[in-house]
Amino acid sequence: YPSGNLAIIITRERDHLICTVQEDELRTAKLRALFQSDGRSTCYYPNGDEWINISIQGGQYLDQAGNRVRRWMWPNLSSGPHVPLSPIFVSLNRHVGVRILAQDKIFVSFLAMGRQAKFNMGTKVQVSAASQLSPPARLGEDELLLLAFRVRILQLFDRMRGCINFPSSEQWNKMQPPMYLMTQAVKILELCMAADISDELRSSIRAIVNA
């Protein structure tokens, strides 16, 4: 960002690329979007609520109250009726925008000081017959809470290590959390969306992992 804060980070985790979009903040580095080359992506509202969730089967668009506004399925990737995608464009903030045109055309654009960078984080993912017949098991309330607290504890340990390494300065505040913690937080939120739990519990879990 023009402020000097990191806006977009692209990393590699094993065989996958991960594109992380952060808010223009120094201390919190709030996550605004996460795009993965395995076909999964999530965008968040400024308050941390889920905005857009994309899987290898399709995606959904939620309003700020958590209600599903739009839902679509990628062509030829679902045994059910095909629900087409109407192009989606959202502005995560005044510098970063996301345009979703197709499964292999998901563009993240960054514009600042008259210059633009654009990344295509879309990909063609084939769904195996096994994945269609065996959907992941849904976790209960206790399991989801335990996972959320585990991520929160790991986040706190990471901050403690930063404070120990930089005890006499605020440099540790500028350090980004490990990518695996960001990925785990996103996966927990995805599980919450699929689980049959109350909105209050879903909000509590979101607050724990995004604290």
Question: pLDDT at position 1, please?
Answer: 92
Tokens of residue 63, six digits: 């309003």
C-beta separation of 155 from 181 below 8 A: yes
Question: pLDDT at position 145, please?
Answer: 84
What gap in Å lies between CA 127 and CA 78, rounded to an integer?
8
127 CB-contact burial (10 Å; exposed 0-12 / middle 13-18 / buried 19+):
middle
Least Cα distance to 120 among 193, 19, 51, 24 occurs for 19
C-beta separation of 45 from 51 below 8 A: yes
What gap in Å lies between CA 106 and CA 88, rounded to an integer?
10
What gap in Å lies between CA 203 and CA 130, rounded to an integer?
32
Question: pLDDT at position 138, please?
Answer: 58
pTM of the predicted model as reported, rounded to 2 decimal places: 0.62
**What's the one-letter identity of residue 155?**
Q
What gap in Å lies between CA 106 and CA 100, rounded to an integer?
5
Question: pLDDT at position 134, please?
Answer: 40
What gap in Å lies between CA 51 and CA 16, rounded to an integer?
23
Q: Show pLDDT as tens, one digit a residue, over the chain (211 residues).
A: 998 888 998 888 777 888 889 998 877 668 899 998 888 899 999 888 889 999 888 888 988 888 888 888 887 655 555 567 889 999 999 999 999 999 889 999 999 988 999 989 888 766 554 444 344 455 677 888 888 888 888 878 777 776 776 665 555 555 666 677 777 788 788 777 777 778 888 888 888 887 6
